[in-house]
């Protein structure tokens, strides 16, 4: 019985030794598995690239620099200083928009004025139009310099011409931002640029009259430049009586007529057929040492020639040449034709010779053309 029990114990111990692995073998296997896992995981760690950091553009860097300079609680003067310091209009607009979004801050008229001028200088016309619409909608308080800047921009754009008068009407309705002399100068100058044809002139003459009346009612005293524009508008439309009336009122405003004043009057009255008045204005301005422009000279010469006042016409031609101004071929032909028709053909030939000596612009070709014209008229 004891022998049988001993065999069973030996058999069970032998089976246990076969099924169980040695401790050093298990530790070796464990070490091998760890080293293999570390080797297999090492390529992944080497192949994984670090995340790239995006570099900032110079414009973004400048923007952040100026934003940091604008400390909390910045004022409108701080914003205006920041806007004026920018040479890039896009950067200035970014600063302008960012500051507008900050709590407790609102742009005033000076900030809008500065931003609009920056955008105009940078030729960002779309930005300017957007800012103008914001101002008209009431984004800031009214200001005469700001509204004059808007009117100047609108007058220079064909499709914004009517918008300029919308701004002007808003100034009329305001209590503390009434139009000043600069406002009327801009509007009148813009209107006169459209005085190209006679039928178009009458359309815009009504606007000139309205502006003139409103300027007087608002107590704005016009200067010589504005009065000359009004005289020119009336003279272009052959409203010479109105032009002469404004000319006589110049002394009331402390303004003196200049060469442009007399030139507009001379052309207007001559085209109206009132040659005597035109010649009178011409003599008056020459007595004051003023010289008419070339077109004024030529209108007066042709008018005198057509009225057969040839001696006076010839005198004006010589006066024009003495002031280094050259008549055109039509003016020369008008004088010579009337001389030949009056039986003064030989005198006309002598005048062509004399004019060639005094007029460096005539040239040989024009000289021969005039001589041929005189010979032809004398034969007829």
pLDDT per residue of the chain (380 residues) written in tens, 0 to 9: 444 444 444 444 444 444 444 444 344 334 434 343 443 444 444 444 445 565 656 667 777 777 777 778 888 999 999 899 888 899 999 999 999 998 889 999 999 999 999 999 999 999 999 999 999 999 999 999 999 999 999 999 989 999 999 999 999 999 889 999 999 999 999 999 888 777 778 888 999 999 999 999 999 999 999 999 999 999 999 999 999 999 999 999 999 999 999 999 999 999 999 999 999 999 999 999 999 999 999 999 999 999 999 999 999 999 999 999 999 999 999 999 999 998 888 899 999 999 999 998 898 999 899 999 888 888 76
First to last CA, the chain: 175
Helix, strand, coil shares of the chain as percentages rounded to 5?
75, 0, 25
Per-residue pLDDT at 148? 96
Q: Cα 269 to the chain's mean position, in Å? A: 35
What does the alpha-carbon distance between residue 302 and residue 85 come to, in Å, rounded to a whole number? 57
3-class DSSP state of 117:
helix
Q: How far apart are CA 207 and CA 210, in angstroms?
A: 5
What token pair was written down for 350?
A: 């002598």
- Closest by alpha carbon to 89, among 111, 49, 116? 116
Digit-coded pLDDT (tens) for 6-57: 444 444 444 444 444 444 434 433 443 434 344 344 444 444 444 556 565 6
Distance (Å, whole) CA 229 – CA 188: 7
In this prediction, residue 63 carries a pLDDT of 72
pLDDT of residue 24: 40
Q: Crossing angle, helix 161-173 and helix 181-192, to 10 degrees?
A: 150
For the chain, state the CA radius of gyration: 45
* Distance (Å) of CA 273 to CA 195, 222, 238, 307: 21, 30, 10, 10
- pLDDT value of residue 25: 34
pTM summary value? 0.79
How far is residue 156's CA from residue 35's CA, in Å, rounded to a whole number?
A: 81
CB 312 within 8 A of CB 276: no
For helices 310-322 and 329-341, give the axis angle rounded to 10 degrees: 150
Kindly report the backbone phi and psi dihedral angles of residue 265, in degrees, each rounded to the nearest multiple of 5, phi listed first: -65, -45
What pLDDT sits at residue 199? 74
Q: How far is CA 265 from CA 247, 248, 261, 272, in A?
A: 9, 12, 6, 10
For the chain, counts of helices (H) and of strands (E): 20, 0
Residues 172, 167: Cα–Cα separation, whole Å: 9
How distant, in Å, are the alpha carbons of 225, 239, 322, 339, 356 from that of 300?
23, 18, 16, 16, 21
Answer whether 348's CB lies under 8 Å from 318's CB.
Answer: no
């Amino acid at each position: 019985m004891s022998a049988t029990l001993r065999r069973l114990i030996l058999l069970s111990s032998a089976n246990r030794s076969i099924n169980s692995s040695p401790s050093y073998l298990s530790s070796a296997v464990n070490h091998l598995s760890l080293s293999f896992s570390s080797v297999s995981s090492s390529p992944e760690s080497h192949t994984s690239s670090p995340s790239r950091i995006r570099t900032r553009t110079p414009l973004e860097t400048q923007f952040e620099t100026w934003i940091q300079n604008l400390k909390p609680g910045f004022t409108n003067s701080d914003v205006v200083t920041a806007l004026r310091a920018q040479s890039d209009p896009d950067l200035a607009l970014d600063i302008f928009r960012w500051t507008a979004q900050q709590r407790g801050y609102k742009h005033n008229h000076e900030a809008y004025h500065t931003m609009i001028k920056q955008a105009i200088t940078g030729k960002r016309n779309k930005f300017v139009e957007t800012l103008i619409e914001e101002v008209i909608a009431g984004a800031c308080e009214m200001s005469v310099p700001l509204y004059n800047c808007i009117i100047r921009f609108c007058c220079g754009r064909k499709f914004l011409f009517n918008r300029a008068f919308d701004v002007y009407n808003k100034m009329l309705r305001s209590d503390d931002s009434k139009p000043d002399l600069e406002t009327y100068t801009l509007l009148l100058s813009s209107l006169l640029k459209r005085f190209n044809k006679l039928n178009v002139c009458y359309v815009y003459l009504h606007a000139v009259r309205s502006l003139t009346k409103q300027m007087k009612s608002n107590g704005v005293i016009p200067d010589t430049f504005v009065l000359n524009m009004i005289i020119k508008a009336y003279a272009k439309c052959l409203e010479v009586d109105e032009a002469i009336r404004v000319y006589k009122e110049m002394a009331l405003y402390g303004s003196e007529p200049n060469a442009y004043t007399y030139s507009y009057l001379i052309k207007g009255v001559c085209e109206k057929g009132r040659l005597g008045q035109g010649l009178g204005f011409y003599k008056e301005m020459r007595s004051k040492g003023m010289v008419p422009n070339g077109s004024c000279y030529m209108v007066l010469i042709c008018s005198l020639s057509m009225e057969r006042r040839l001696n006076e016409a010839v005198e004006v031609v010589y006066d024009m040449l003495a002031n280094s101004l050259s008549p055109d071929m039509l003016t020369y032909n008008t004088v010579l034709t009337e001389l030949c028709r009056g039986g003064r053909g030989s005198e006309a030939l002598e005048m062509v010779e004399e004019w060639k000596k005094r007029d460096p612009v005539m040239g040989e070709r024009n000289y021969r053309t005039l001589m041929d014209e005189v010979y032809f008229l004398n034969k007829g």
